[in-house]
Chains A and B, each alone.
Chain A
Amino acid sequence: MIRMTLRQFRLQLVIAAGALTVVAIILGVTGPDLAHVYDTTVGTCARDGGYCSTALVTFNDHDRLLRVVVQALPIVLPVLLGMFWGAPLVAGELESGTFRLAWTQSRSRLQWLAAKLAVVGLTTVAVQGLLSLMTTWWWMPVGRANPDRFSPAIFGAFGIAPIGYAVFALALGVTAGILLRRTVPAMATTLAAFVGVRLAVTFLVRPGFASEVHQVVALDPNGTAGIDSGPGIPLHLVFGNPQLPNAWVRSIDTVNASGQHPTGPVLAQLCPTLVKAVSDSRQTDMHSAFTACVTRVAASFHHAVVYQPASRYWPFQWAELALFVGLAVGMVALSAWWIRRRLI
């Protein structure tokens, strides 16, 4: 039955191999180039200990379109596999009637389904895995220059999580096809359900993979700071965020020991000169009052940071992979049961 599925799946295999080859060539040509640009901009700057924002802008200007594609491809591929490989896998045979041919030979329906899932499932893992490997390699200099690998759009695009998405999307497509018995509605259902589950996991489930770290970070009186006010917004003092490269920062709050924020009456009591200068719009007094105020506030306030440390990136990737593979296993079990017990 495996050989039969390979025959049926031949065209898709060729298309997948061709597409992967094209991607490999493009990334193989541009990747070393991008790494070289990194070395000559952000890389040298970091080695020399200079102020790197100009170098970063230069580097980030390089391959802008390709970066969008490289980031989007592994995010989009799983749902495409689910829609175009998963949904028609069984629904196509239910629609064309060939299931009546296949299910009246010597092999059982479960053997038939298992062969299909084995061939298409392994191909899916291979295709998504190879793509992920190539894009993750290509992205390395970008990730080093912009250490933000926990942000949802990066986390779901690189590493091993996309393999889990692809396996889940495929199982979802197959199951939708079996339940709905028609390819096109199954494709639409796959798209909607996959996007829904991905969003729900990203924003509701993933933050709970491990309990967040609560950390107090002292304010730097010489660091970045500013005042913020406007119509309807009371005057408050803001401090530059602490540098936590690659960490998943959930919230940052500037508070004192009593949990108060540097605004309103609290600020008025600490920095009366600044508050008065701002309300009177006296620019000359404002600067010296601001510097004094920053020093005073920094002494009694701190950053309360809630975050997932950067070191949890791979445990989170594994957890995400396991979660989606688990969902896929559930879908396959439902498919098998439905084919045996309900399509009779």
Chain B
Amino acid sequence: MSLVLEAVGLGKRYGRRWALTDCSLDIPSGHVVGLVGPNGAGKSTLLQLAVGLLQPSAGSISVLGGPPRDNRVGFVAQDAPTYAHLSVADHLRFGLWSNDTFDVLGAQQRVESIGLDMNQRAGKLSGGQRAQLALTLALSKRPEFLVLDEPVASLDPLARREFLQRLMEAVADQEFSVILSSHLVADLERVCDYLVVLVQSRVQLAGRIDDLLATHHLLVGPRRGRFPLPAQAHVVEERHTDVQSTLLVRHTGPMVDPSWSVETVSLETLVLAYMTRDRSEAQVPRRFGVLS
């Protein structure tokens, strides 16, 4: 299986501050990958390293099997920067003039189908239209790998849905790999089939969303002292009230235990559990929940 992105011990330092430390990550091709993490986790730094805007201070990163800054990679930066004084048509010219391959006809069709006025200045566009224009520029390079840094963070819910809709149409049409970041899993749930949770530079969770949901279970039962769990099960998170305990457990096999009621877990709950988990705890998976 080929990798669109491979990071080994990747780190990026600004002066004395490390924005990303010791990040290792493999992302197989053919997925729409959601990169989720709290603000400051290093998502944007990781993506900028992937497109060659930044260079690693430590470790290495390869994209599509080679060094970053590959012409086969499309990128939409955070807040979808465009030239405020230039028209939509000028942006398409920019794409044509500054790329070896640029599907200008496709770009025109896309702009029309979004309903943008070719003569409108980018500065006068709404946030959603600007994001669509930036996406159009990136897609018209006919990329094999599309990198989107917080593409919908600043958009209203309607523009958000419209943007992701267009993205999914393009993915279905052109068949490329995508990675898009957000600090909200709800943004990504609809479109992603692969998830990476990044907390403080460390990958807490990575895998196909189907697999993640199938292997995580929410156990709810009365509060007790010590309790047994299957040998391969890891407690991701535990919560207790006076009478009840709730455990999020990772386990590949079926969870059948009469003393617990087993519930399926939502992706949001799952991601939040990994995001809020203490970092030191994450290093040492536990087999037992210990209650006091």
A interface with B by C-beta (< 8 Å): 1, 3-4, 7-8, 11, 96-98, 100-107, 112, 344
Contacts and interface: CB of A to CB of B under 8 A. Distances in A.
Contacts of A96: 81, 83-84
B104 to A, nearest CB: 14
B81 A100 contact: yes
B170 interface: no
B100 A106 contact: yes
Nearest to B122: A98
Contact of A105 (B55, B79, B85, B95): B95
14 contacts: A7-B86, A96-B81, A97-B78, A97-B79, A97-B81, A98-B83, A100-B48, A100-B75, A101-B77, A102-B98, A104-B52, A104-B73, A105-B95, A105-B99
Contact of B97 (A4, A101, A103, A104): A4
Q: Is the interface of A mostly helix, strand, loop or mixed?
A: helix
A105 B79 CA distance: 17
Contact of A7 (B53, B82, B90, B99): B90
B86 A1 contact: no
Nearest to B95: A105
A8 B78 contact: no
Interface string B49-91: 0011111000000000000010101010111011111100010
B23 interface: no
Nearest to B100: A106
How many B residues touch the partner, as a band?
Answer: 20 to 34
A106 B86 contact: no
Contacts of B69: 104
Contacts of A105: 95, 98-99, 141
A100 B69 CA distance: 12
Given A7-B94, A107-B99, 14 more contacts: A1-B97, A3-B97, A7-B93, A8-B83, A96-B83, A97-B79, A98-B83, A101-B81, A105-B98, A105-B141, A106-B71, A106-B100, A106-B101, A112-B98
A103 B81 contact: no
A101 B79 contact: no
Contacts of A106: 71, 98-101
A8 B97 CA distance: 13
A100 B78 CA distance: 9
A341 to B, nearest CB: 9
Contact of B82 (A8, A98, A104, A112): A98
Contacts of A8: 83, 85-86
B137 A101 contact: yes
Nearest to A108: B69
Interface centre among A11, A103, A105, A112 (most CB of B within 10 A): A105
A323 B53 CA distance: 35
A96 to B, nearest CB: 6
Most buried by B among A96, A98, A104, A105: A104
A105 B77 CA distance: 12
